[in-house]
Amino acid sequence: MTKNAIVLGAGIVGVSAAIHLQRRGRQVALIDRKDPGSETSFGNAGLIQREGVAPYGFPQQLGLLLRYALNNRIDAHYHVSTLPSQLAFLARYWWNSNARRHAIITRAYAPLIENSIAEHKDLIEASEAQALIRRDGWIKIFRTQARRDEALAEAALWQNEFGVDYDSLTSADIARIEPDMTGDFAGAIRWRDPWSVLDPHALTSAYRRYFESLGGRFVTGDAASFGPFGSGWKIMTGEGPLEADDAVIALGPWAALATRRLGYSFPLGVKRGYHMHYAAKGDAVLNNWMLDAERGYLLVPMRRGIRLTTGAEFATLDAPKTPVQLDRAEAVARTIFPLGDRLDPEPWMGARPCTPDMMPVIGKAPRHQGLWFAFGHAHHGLTLGPVTGRVLAELITGEKPFIDIAAYSPARFNP
């Protein structure tokens, strides 16, 4: 008899898990209150970051921490009123970012990243979404030689240990590659391996259509109605109640609330981020995904226009928008590229779900049968959606996961 499964959350992680379960003979209902890819998966930088083997750590240097405390930067901003409620998470995040512990975490995290391109390639081809993809890497530019040299030394280490490829670019190379950019840059790194996505929402939508072509269904529903039912699980949807043998919680930043109702406690923090699209002035063209490393914003050429993305905002999930980082970033970005008018009526905001050890939660719920977790991917949700979906589906259907996922076990937070 065919087993039923429900996947709660239709971002890139949830859609990918639904595809891989449907491929393995499960009858899957993908459930969300909004259309697939409408939340965090909508507003990312559009990078499948094969080079991103080291998760983003918390700053350790006292001088840098003091500069962040001024709360006037582009790459990080915080709500003073919410700091007391976030101190426990931030303290654990800082502790895990120590050089020795971060190196251990990086080695545990790397297998997910190392398979990110191959697993996306599978779904991109299956969903006929090749037109959304560029395969020419991305560029990280530096304003000072010291930062450039530090980054190049780190890149050499990553190349040796994790097989990532890069080029060192001079200021003349930057001028040649991006003739419409101006600035006194010391150099850059071009990461060769990553792929970029011209429209992340369109990619998630393409994956959703492929899922439906396999016989899966997308159904509107609210996770608040989800709970155990007999030996399985049940949720109320727009089509009425749905029951399933297995359920996957892939709710991104809302996963902490959904799992808390079931008796679990995950220290899931939130890093909010903003983006805005711009026209280019005159005939100016931005050719590459460009990170202004020492200022902390990214400029990328997407279908909608040139997308400017900010760093992390530490705030509660439901706090009002405070896009001050976007305004700061726009002012700096206009000095190096001729940005034209804003194209969006207001800044977009999304929330990245983060764990204090910087690794996602992937695996079986410790205290329930047929319940599975897939969330906490922080800055790499788009990158890691398909590889997460595959390993989780393998685990659910009794296969041996093709990579070791012990380090991502939910039991590390809920024994």
Average pLDDT over residues 253-279: 97
Angstrom distance (rounded) from CA 414 to CA 363:
12
Scanning the structure block, which residue is given the tokens 């595959």?
390
The answer, yes or no, to whether residue 177 has pLDDT greater than 60, is: yes
Residues 359-384 have pLDDT tens digits of 999 999 999 999 999 999 999 999 99
SS (H, E, C) 344-357: CCCCEEEEEEECCC
Q: Are 56 and 113 in contact (CB under 8 A)?
A: no
Report which secondary-structure segment, H or E, holds 214.
none
Q: Do the first three CATH levels of 1-57+97-131+194-266+355-415 and 59-86+132-193+268-352 match, i.e. the same topology? A: no
Q: What is the pLDDT of residue 415?
A: 87
Percent of the chain residues topping a pLDDT of 90: 95
Domain boundaries 1-57+97-131+194-266+355-415, CATH class: alpha beta
- In order, the DSSP letters of 141-199 are EESSHHHHHHHHHHHHHHHHHH---EEEE-HHHHHHH-TT--S---EEEEESS-EEES-
Give the other-Cβ count within 10 Å of 45's Cβ.
23
- Domain definitions of the chain by residue range: 1-57+97-131+194-266+355-415, 59-86+132-193+268-352
In this predicted structure, the answer to whether residue 3 has a pLDDT above a threshold of 90 is no
- Report the distance separating Cα 254 and Cα 268, nearest Å: 9
Residue type, position 398, single letter: G
What residues have CB less than 8 Å from 1, skipping those under 6 apart? none
Alpha-carbon distance 37 to 42, whole Å?
5
Q: What is the mean pLDDT of residues 147-157?
A: 97
What are the tens digits of pLDDT across the range 63-114?
Answer: 888 888 999 999 999 999 988 999 999 999 999 999 999 999 999 999 999 9
pTM above 0.95, yes or no: yes
Please write the tens of the pLDDT for every residue from 210-233. Answer: 999 999 999 999 999 999 999 999
pLDDT of 21 reads: 98
pLDDT of residue 1: 57
Counting DSSP H helices and E strands in the chain, the numbers are 11, 23
CATH class of the domain at 59-86+132-193+268-352: alpha beta
